[in-house]
Amino acid sequence: MSADGPPADESLAERLLADRLLVARRGLAALNATADVRIQLQRRLIAICDAIKTPGADSARCAKRLELFLAELDRAGADGA
């Protein structure tokens, strides 16, 4: 660990989480679903983002929630296709 910043593995984990959040946002934007489904998914994504920003947040739990969200987003896309 350097005095200049977080450990490299923590920084990598944060970058991976940020990449997955971007995938979620883009997937939600491209989703062809009813307004009710889109609103529900948008609220879930906002809740996940808020949890990530909370001081002392468990990054592994946040990542798990995000992966579950992405799976549900995929199912919603398949149902709407």
Q: Would you give per-residue pLDDT tens digits along the chain (81 residues)?
A: 445 655 666 688 889 999 999 999 999 999 999 999 999 999 999 999 999 999 999 989 999 999 999 999 999 988 865
Angstrom distances, CA of residue 2 to CA of 7, 8, 15, 17, 81: 7, 9, 18, 22, 49
pTM higher than the cut 0.75? yes
Q: Please report the DSSP string for the chain in residue order.
A: --TTSS-HHHHHHHHHHHHHHHHHHHHHHH----HHHHHHHHHHHHHHHHHHHSTT--HHHHHHHHHHHHHHHHHHHHHH-
